Amino acid sequence: MPHISETVPVHLTAHAEAARAWFSETEGSEFELTGIVDPGAAPAESPGPAASELQLILCGDRGGQEVCLRERFSVSEVDGAFDVTLLRDETPEVGSPAPLLDPPAGVRAGWLDQVLPKHAFTVVLFYRGFW
């Protein structure tokens, strides 16, 4: 099972932020970086010019709905600029993706605090331990 961390390793921070900014611009809506999947699988040193693959959990507004998405990116840095490509899975991952889309534990309280003032009521659905 993949390990999801709320903290992006320091050597991947710039790459993760570049991917988040690129995704936000592409989607036309601001997304927040709330986690990274399997941060230990990324290179231990600064990725440099070689492309590194990052799997990020991004939460934001998509079509008027608050969503959290797990997206894979190829990110490389050339002359101080980042080249970001969204990678699409050809076949779905074995098992349900629901636990990967669930925001990390530390993000939930902040998310709920942001959502409550926007609506007259909020329904939180718990299903097999996920919400």
Between 96 and 64, residue with greater pLDDT = 64
- Please check whether residue 15 is in contact with residue 77, taking contact to mean a CB–CB distance below 8 angstroms: yes
Q: What is the pLDDT of residues 1-57, one digit of tens each?
A: 667 788 888 889 999 999 999 999 999 999 999 888 887 766 555 455 567 889 999
Domain ranges of the chain: 4-118
Q: What is the pLDDT of residues 92-129, one digit of tens each?
A: 455 555 555 555 566 566 777 778 888 888 887 765 55
- How high is the pLDDT of residue 26? 92
The vertex-28 CA angle with 101 and 108, nearest 5°, equals 30
Q: In angstroms, rounded to a whole number, what is the distance separating the alpha carbons of residues 119 and 127?
A: 22
**With a threshold of 0.75, does the pTM exceed it?**
no
The domain made up of 4-118 is a member of CATH 1.20.1250: no
